[in-house]
């Protein structure tokens, strides 16, 4: 069985949340939207040794407080539900199915479902917080258990392993590490071989210690401590250069990495990024080689990991993203990395976001985009510019001029689009605005389209209109420029000299001779020549310099209105 759904109510910053999971699920979103709370909810419900009545797992800080006057003692009950489901019938052996029978509910197709629910309340009689764990039906009614076997088995059948963003290699590769310890326990030697090895170790140890006569003096002086504390009367002090017993040696096994020049360096002496990557690889090795020994063969492990990109170089992050796709078990991670999300399917992403205090989940489903739209979106956003998926609002523009100019003009207007988490996305080479609007709506990202005043711009606006929901206003999500393009907008707003100054004076004189000054034909000709000389990004920066010189009051109204609207959409 796999975990297919997590339902959270009144837990920390989340009032209500329904999260559907895949084999790989990557949670993205801004800080404090609930990503870590989801992983903590898994830990609470699947923690080993959880009692069915009073586990004491919840504290006053776990309750969702509706306002500043709310108290944990009077807050709504915490409810965490994990829904497991079979992908095909009879995934578990008959023996396991019998033991878990009281917890399993079959659907109309005969597939088994298990719903494990943790409830947290303040118990007035106990004057403390109480956690109750129970299996429930699809309608929420608690299932009656004949015994506690299902509660004891569930953490064996779906074991949860948690890696925080602060991965400590010295702890994970220590004797008690959650993965490493399983490998150490697997080391078993026959008694005869073990005894022979320990005799050899003792001989090596004696040779090393015996190489220094000063150590004998140290041993003698420390031995005098037996006058004050009870010690062995014959041999109270033993110096060990190396462990002389196999179990001691096993417990001290260290991982060393060789540098490019061959130098052998302990893992804990390497950088944080290398240590973090080693821990991720350790989990993969554990699942492949050791899981069946530590757990039932039919177990489906869950790895919950915070920010696997922590401390890693961008190229390594992309490799981790690819690795996550191929890891066995079920993977649930949180991430703030555009490099990582560029290597996982868009359908694996779950974007958590807040609106009016409520937590929502955005996701692109398999049928959200057509195959052609998916290719455009992947090329222009996910694979090449994954960081765009973390924005609150996308300003969708036709080309380079808008891409370079809008952020700079917004900066001059003190609009703070970086603080508001607004990103500019070009769409003219990506099949028009439709793929980006569809993806934005699915992910819960606000959007606004800017289109030129030509025929192509009209087509783009019409395409954007088709994506409006009932009740949504055109003006809130799109604008078509009244002029041919952005260059003509600024020409007609008093910036003609910017374009005239971009071409040689002789060329300008020639154009003045060919066209009537002030005519549309003259403006078209000058702008065309200017683009040829300075290119659109260069002209955009020239316009910005002119605004800096003249002041923001000269910015065309359509540009100002657009910037104000995207700031509003982003919650500003």
User: CA–CA separation, 404 vs 232, rounded Å?
Assistant: 80
Structure confidence at residue 292 (pLDDT):
66
How many residues are given for the chain? Answer: 572
> What's the pLDDT band for 49 if we cut at 50, 70, 90?
very low
* Residue 535 backbone zone (phi > 0: left; psi -120 to 50: alpha; other: beta): left
Task: Count CA within 13 A, CB hemisphere, residue 352.
Answer: 28
Q: Could you write out the DSSP letters of every residue in 448-486? A: EEEE-SSHHHHHHHHHHHTTPPTT--GGGTEEE-SSSSH
**Which of 572 and 489 is assigned the larger pLDDT?**
489
The maximal CA–CA distance of the chain, rounded, in angstroms, is: 115
Q: What is the pLDDT of residues 267-324, one digit of tens each?
A: 888 888 888 888 888 888 887 776 666 666 778 889 899 999 988 899 999 999 998 9
User: CA–CA separation, 430 vs 379, rounded Å?
Assistant: 8
Q: Is residue 82 a contact partner of residue 95, using CB atoms and an 8 Å limit? A: no
Are β-strands 264-266 and 256-258 bridged in parallel, bridged antiparallel, or unpaired?
A: antiparallel
SS3 345: coil
Q: Is 73 exposed, middle or buried (0-12, 13-18, 19+ CB in 10 A)?
A: middle
User: CA–CA separation, 86 vs 106, rounded Å?
Assistant: 10
Question: Sign of the CA dihedral 444, 450, 454, 456?
Answer: negative
Mean pLDDT of 62-77: 90
Q: Could you write out the DSSP letters of every residue in 531-564? A: HHHHHHHHHHHHHHHHHHHH-GGGS-HHHHHHHH
Structure confidence at residue 53 (pLDDT):
44
User: CA–CA separation, 209 vs 240, rounded Å?
Assistant: 8
User: CA–CA separation, 353 vs 421, rounded Å?
Assistant: 13
User: CA–CA separation, 206 vs 204, rounded Å?
Assistant: 6
Strands (E), 302-364: 302-306, 330-334, 349-355, 358-362
SS3 278: helix
Q: Is residue 364 a contact partner of residue 394, using CB atoms and an 8 Å limit? A: no
User: CA–CA separation, 110 vs 228, rounded Å?
Assistant: 73
User: CA–CA separation, 424 vs 409, rounded Å?
Assistant: 13
Residue 54 has pLDDT above 70, yes or no: no
Structure confidence at residue 52 (pLDDT):
43
Q: CB under 8 Å to 211, separation ≥6 — which residues?
A: none
> What's the pLDDT band for 262 if we cut at 50, 70, 90?
confident
Eight-state DSSP code of residue 502 = T
Ranges 98-107, 126-135, 351-360, 404-413: which has the least confidence: 126-135
> What's the pLDDT band for 38 if we cut at 50, 70, 90?
very high
Mean pLDDT of 128-138: 91
Mean pLDDT of 54-75: 82
**Which of 338 and 59 is assigned the larger pLDDT?**
338
User: CA–CA separation, 195 vs 303, rounded Å?
Assistant: 39
Residue 41 has pLDDT above 70, yes or no: yes
Residue 414 has pLDDT above 60, yes or no: yes
User: CA–CA separation, 506 vs 558, rounded Å?
Assistant: 34
Structure confidence at residue 55 (pLDDT):
43
User: CA–CA separation, 344 vs 452, rounded Å?
Assistant: 34
Mean pLDDT of 403-428: 95
Structure confidence at residue 216 (pLDDT):
87
Structure confidence at residue 293 (pLDDT):
66
Mean pLDDT of the chain: 91
Mean pLDDT of 194-205: 93
Residue 179 has pLDDT above 90, yes or no: no
Are β-strands 105-106 and 78-85 bridged in parallel, bridged antiparallel, or unpaired?
A: unpaired
Residue 326 has pLDDT above 90, yes or no: no
Residue 19 has pLDDT above 90, yes or no: yes
Neighbours of 326 (CB within 10 A): 9
280, 246, 274: which is closest to 259 by C-alpha?
274
Mean pLDDT of 228-249: 86
Residue 460 has pLDDT above 90, yes or no: yes
Q: What is the pLDDT of residues 142-158, one digit of tens each?
A: 999 999 899 888 988 99
Structure confidence at residue 572 (pLDDT):
67
User: CA–CA separation, 282 vs 168, rounded Å?
Assistant: 12
35, 3, 113, 10: which is closest to 349 by C-alpha?
35
Torsion, Cα 434 436 441 444, to 10 degrees, reads: -170
Q: Is residue 567 a contact partner of residue 420, using CB atoms and an 8 Å limit? A: yes
Mean pLDDT of 187-207: 92
347, 340, 381: which is closest to 363 by C-alpha?
347
User: CA–CA separation, 510 vs 498, rounded Å?
Assistant: 18
Residue 127 has pLDDT above 80, yes or no: no
């Amino acid at each position: 069985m796999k975990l297919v759904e997590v339902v959270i109510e009144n837990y920390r910053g989340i009032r209500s949340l329904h999260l559907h999971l895949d084999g790989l699920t990557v949670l993205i979103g801004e800080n404090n939207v609930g990503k870590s709370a989801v992983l903590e909810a898994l830990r609470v419900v699947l923690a080993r040794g959880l009692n069915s009545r009073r586990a004491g797992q919840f504290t006053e800080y776990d309750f969702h407080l509706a306002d500043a006057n709310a108290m944990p003692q009077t807050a709504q009950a915490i409810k965490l539900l994990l829904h497991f489901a079979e992908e095909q019938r009879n995934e578990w052996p008959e023996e396991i199915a019998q033991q878990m029978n009281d917890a399993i509910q079959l659907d109309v197709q005969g597939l088994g479902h298990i719903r494990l629910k943790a409830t947290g309340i303040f118990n007035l009689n106990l004057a403390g917080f109480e956690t109750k764990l129970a299996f429930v039906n699809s309608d929420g009614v608690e299932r009656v258990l004949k015994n506690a076997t299902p509660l004891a088995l569930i953490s064996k059948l779906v074991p949860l392993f948690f890696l925080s963003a602060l991965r400590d290699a010295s702890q994970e590769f220590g004797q008690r590490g959650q993965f490493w310890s399983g490998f150490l326990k697997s080391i078993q030697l026959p008694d005869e071989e073990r005894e022979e090895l320990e005799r050899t170790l003792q001989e090596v140890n004696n040779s090393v210690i015996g190489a220094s006569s000063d150590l004998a003096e140290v041993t003698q002086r420390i031995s005098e401590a037996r006058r004050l504390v009870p010690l062995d009367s014959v041999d109270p002090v033993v110096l060990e250069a190396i462990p002389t017993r196999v179990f001691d040696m096993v417990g001290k096994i260290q991982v060393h990495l060789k540098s490019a020049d061959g130098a052998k360096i302990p893992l804990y002496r390497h950088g944080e990024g290398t240590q973090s990557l080693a821990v991720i690889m350790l989990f993969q090795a554990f699942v492949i080689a050791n899981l069946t020994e530590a757990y039932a063969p039919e177990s489906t492990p869950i790895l919950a990991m915070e920010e696997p990109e922590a401390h890693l170089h961008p190229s390594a992050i992309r490799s981790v993203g690819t690795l996550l796709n191929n890891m066995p078990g079920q993977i649930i991670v949180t991430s703030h990395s555009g490099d990582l999300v560029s290597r996982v399917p868009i359908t694996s992403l779950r974007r958590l976001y807040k609106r009016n205090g409520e937590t929502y989940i955005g996701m692109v489903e398999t049928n959200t985009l057509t195959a052609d739209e998916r290719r455009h979106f992947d090329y222009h956003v996910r694979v090449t510019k994954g960081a765009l998926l973390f924005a609150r609002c996308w300003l969708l523009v036709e080309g380079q001029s808008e891409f370079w100019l809008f952020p700079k003009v917004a900066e001059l207007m003190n609009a703070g689009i970086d603080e508001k988490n607004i990103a500019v996305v070009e769409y003219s080479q990506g099949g028009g605005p439709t793929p980006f609007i569809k993806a934005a709506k699915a992910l819960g990202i606000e959007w606004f389209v800017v289109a030129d005043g030509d025929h192509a711009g009209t087509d783009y606006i019409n395409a954007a209109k088709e994506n409006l929901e009932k009740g949504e206003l055109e003006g809130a999500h799109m604008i078509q420029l009244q002029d041919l393009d952005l260059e003509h907008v600024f020409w007609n707003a008093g910036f003609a000299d910017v374009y005239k100054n971009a071409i040689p004076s002789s060329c300008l004189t020639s154009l003045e001779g060919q066209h009537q000054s002030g005519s549309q034909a003259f403006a078209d000709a000058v702008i065309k020549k200017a683009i040829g000389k300075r290119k659109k990004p260069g002209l955009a920066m020239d316009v910005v310099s002119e605004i800096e010189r003249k002041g923001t009051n000269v910015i065309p109204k359509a540009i100002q209105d657009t910037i104000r609207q995207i700031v509003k959409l982003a919650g500003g």
